[in-house]
Structure 1
């Protein structure tokens, strides 16, 4: 984050260390897959097509990562990503909370931050997480204090907010329980499907490179 806790605007983006790691991993993956494809017995057009598609996917991913940012100013919060920017006015925010990601669903940060609208719907605050902000708890406390200061004097909570938040949390807990019970079967099915698809595709498109 640029600036101190009291400064506005605040810009939350990717740290240079994390950005460099993403670029290194993408370049390594691209190089590895190119080496594998050179050894495959497949038509040249297929190799060229796969190379172009891989470059587009990795490039699009890095581009999207570069655009991920949350800005906090006197008017509210702006979240930027691949989609058009979303602005949340201070009076339109019910609360700002951190949510721990269960280890079984953790592919990145362990704790995410959400702004909850007055009706209880939540908006992820991109790059406001424990991966980009090691001192996330003090930052959350600062954001919540800023929310209280910036709201208008007549602001009142919407009664729909907390019930919707509770239902959303219940759905996530139900999904976690289902995933715990079935993840082994899902994993086995996914691996088997990938192997079968690879065998079929190789037999269909196989031939001299």
Structure 2
């Protein structure tokens, strides 16, 4: 097996199976919207037909733009083509390439569990489209890109101090958010205890109203999350 740059170029695009799924979702949604509008008696044709034309145009653009999204790595740079813009990250400008968990995975079963980001010279992270666990072997592909980066960035490469600091702050924020969510989930059961007390103990009227589920969970969980996230972020930024 060759070195990292010898295994370039590499291109990452939407898989055909995912392409068909996206097309099916768009087509089904469009038919549903069309039937709803056409069967609505209180909508005039002057609104219905222009709206349907605009909807079809929007869905067509969305499908085409998604197909055009890609990540390409060659000997010069990593080229990122997103839905509305492109970005070129020269190897010498890249500060890091990292795998991060996808927060959307918990909300959508078809979302990738992990995604890959490159950090540019300004320290901002750039999502590398389709470089995720739904499309590729992330561990293998990231290893190739990291090896190519180390070989092609130049022998005199050094991290940009401002960018490195920004990357560290980003990692601290991400760790704080994840820790906040984890502790909030763990706090759910303990928070149910005070909610159950009025069932077994006579409480003053004002205290009973405070211990209502909506109040305890509505205030308690956000408070636990905020305190945990802030404490974690400060500790990580202080420890470096």
Q: Which TM-score band (shorter chain)?
A: 0.7 to 0.9
Residue of structure 2 in register with 1:132 after alignment: 135
Residue of structure 1 in register with 2:96 after alignment: 95
Q: 1:140 to 1:53 in 2, by over 3 A?
A: same
* Unmatched tracts of structure 1, length 5 or more: 186-209
Q: CA RMSD in A?
A: 2.6
Residue of structure 2 in register with 1:66 after alignment: 67
Which whole-Å CA distance do the structure 1 matches of 2:62 and 2:177 have between them? 27
Does residue 78 of structure 2 align to residue 77 of structure 1?
Answer: yes
Q: 1:63 to 1:84 in 2, by over 3 A?
A: same
Residue of structure 2 in register with 1:197 after alignment: none
Residue of structure 2 in register with 1:150 after alignment: 152
Residue of structure 2 in register with 1:204 after alignment: none
Which runs of structure 2 are paired with 1:1-209 in the superposition (5 Å)? 6-41=6-41, 42-102=43-103, 103-104=105-106, 108-133=111-136, 135-172=137-174
TM-score between the two structures when normalised by the length of structure 1: 0.75
Q: Number of aligned pairs?
A: 178
- The secondary structure found in structure 1 opposite 2:11 is strand
Structure showing greater relative contact order (alpha-carbon pairs closer than 8 Å, 6 or more residues apart): 1
* Unmatched tracts of structure 2, length 5 or more: 186-216, 219-240
Bigger Rg, which one: 2
Residue 82 of structure 1: CA displacement?
Answer: 3.1
- The secondary structure found in structure 1 opposite 2:123 is coil
Which whole-Å CA distance do the structure 2 matches of 1:166 and 1:66 have between them? 33
Which whole-Å CA distance do the structure 1 matches of 2:19 and 2:148 have between them? 28
Residue 77 of structure 1: CA displacement?
Answer: 0.7
